Chains A and B, each alone.
Chain A
Amino acid sequence: MIKRYCLLAALLCSPLAFAEEIDRSLQADPKGEVEISNVAGTVTVSGWDRNEVRVTGSLGEGVERLDFTSEGKRTEIKVVLKKSTHWGDEGDAELSIRVPTGSRLDVNTVSAEISVKDVAGSQRLQSVSGEVSTDIAAEEAEVKTVSGDVILHGEGKPSVLTLTTVSGNAQATRVAGEITANTVSGDLNLSLDTITRARLRTTSGDLSLRGALTGEAKVDGETISGDLSFVFKSPVDAEFDIETFSGDIDNCFGPKSQSKSEHGPGRELHFRQSDGKAQVRVNSLSGTINLCDH
């Protein structure tokens, strides 16, 4: 009996007890822009074949209201918190949003997780600490976090991706085309079907890139103290310029790296594999560079 009272009390005290359920819809342009803004909780977006935006979910006790408007090509969904709400208070909003497949997305959260599926338009996703997960069917996607982790899934179609984190880790699978990734201390684990252009930079985070270099692909990698690992699909046709100030270079194909000078700890490795059509240039201060094919 006491247990039941405790359970009831716990339920009444939980944020869900005061949650307000929402279910609203508005007509929207099939290729319009959908702007979503939430502080805490979740934002789950998925595309569908209707010219309509539908928002379902729940708003926590700390939420003042949900602004939901659609005008012309622009739809806006914005969670507004009560004035008394502070960080860590119950300002959670769990939003599940259906948008026309061709929509362009602009999502902005503080700690709310972002998840996107089946959206073909460009995506601009930004979170301070929430995890961002998206299926890349778009031509262009930009993901930015401070500490939130990033998970990207592609379908092997060429796209242009820009990925920036401060300390969040990022993982990409089956994406293709052009990728620019930059982190200070996060780890980047990128697996691309095909690579046409990759600009990758970390300060102290580790980086791993796997994929097949297309004809005249260009890969630039740089780290200060992180370790960099590159695995390219065989046969590799590229020219390599690898250099470290004090880090090691390990490679499983091509010639072995050489010492830059008689007394210095730096290593360098310059060689051409096959015709050398693609270009791979990697620099490091003290991080180790691994190079391999598979």
Chain B
Amino acid sequence: MKDEYRNGDEHDPVLKAVGQLPQSIEPRRDLWPQIARQLDVTEAPRGRRLQIGWTFALAAAVGCVALGALLTVGLMKRTSPAPANLSAQTSAPSESSARYQQASLGGYAALGPEYEQARAGLMIGLAERLDRLPPLERQKVERNLNEIRRALGEINAALQLAPNDTLLRELLLNTYHDELTLLANVNHIADTIPSRTAS
């Protein structure tokens, strides 16, 4: 382009002045290290953005589980008849029936208060409800609750080794949901169990 000016009308004073400009200007100092530093700085927020995205995704997933739990509990409450003696059902679950541990996500995060609330609500009176089942079935329920908790432990342990594994996160959240579903189902079955005696 510049060559066009050079080869253009040599009588034009502006073009003549442009043609006299140097073709390149060397910087007075090496600017690259500073640019590289700037690039590093701009990379970092991108990493943070990714982390925020992950956190949001996790929060959304936890929210979904909590919402699902609340819905499950709500539906079960709606379909179940009111318990005969509520005060009798506030006993803590027996040691063997439910080793209550806070729901963890690979040891680096915990499920939200809504989830814990739903879970605690289902745990209230679980032992009393389990007592309504035949002894053999009670043992089976306890064994299967422990099976779910064993699975949760297994997934949590794997998550500690691979915290970014999306499959593990999905399996974990679904298994927590399974635990709630099992608790809700046991409560429902125990609440609707045919009465054994004349009323």
Contact = CB atoms under 8 A, between A and B. Distances in A.
B17 to A, nearest CB: 63
A167 interface: yes
Given A182-B178, A203-B147, A285-B155, A222 B171 contact: yes
A39 B168 contact: no
Contacts of B194: 37-39, 78-79, 108-110
Interface stretch (B3-11, B52-60, B129-137): B129-137
B195 interface: yes
Contacts of A182: 178, 181
A206 to B, nearest CB: 14
A129 interface: yes
Given A184-B178, A285-B171, A110 B193 contact: yes
Interface string B124-158: 00000000011111001101100110010011001
A83 interface: yes
B171 A166 contact: no
Nearest to B178: A203
A210 to B, nearest CB: 24
Given A201-B178, A203-B151, A81 B158 contact: no
B106 to A, nearest CB: 13
B182 A166 contact: yes
A214 B188 CA distance: 34
> Which among A65, A147, A185 has the greatest number of chain B C-beta atoms within 10 A?
A147
A285 B196 CA distance: 42
For the residues of B in contact with A, the DSSP-based class is helix
A185 B135 contact: no
Nearest to B148: A203
Interface residues of B, number: 37
Nearest to B190: A128
B167 A266 contact: yes
Nearest to A285: B171
Contact of B198 (A37, A65, A109): A65
Contacts of A129: 134, 136-137
B189 A87 contact: no
A170 interface: no
B185 A224 contact: no
A72 interface: no
A103 interface: no
A283 interface: yes
B105 to A, nearest CB: 15
B140 A80 contact: no
B134 A82 contact: no
Interface in A75-115: 78-83, 85, 87-88, 91, 108-111
B154 A128 contact: no
Contact of B141 (A78, A146, A244, A285): A146
A39 B195 CA distance: 8
Interface in A112-130: 126, 128-129
B140 A166 contact: yes
B158 A245 contact: yes
Interface of A: 37-39, 64-65, 78-83, 85, 87-88, 91, 108-111, 126, 128-129, 144, 146-147, 164, 166-167, 182, 184-185, 201, 203-204, 222, 224-225, 243-246, 264, 266, 283, 285-286
24 contacts: A37-B194, A64-B198, A80-B197, A91-B196, A111-B134, A126-B189, A146-B137, A146-B141, A147-B137, A166-B144, A167-B140, A167-B143, A184-B144, A184-B148, A185-B144, A185-B147, A203-B147, A222-B171, A224-B154, A224-B171, A224-B175, A245-B162, A245-B168, A245-B171
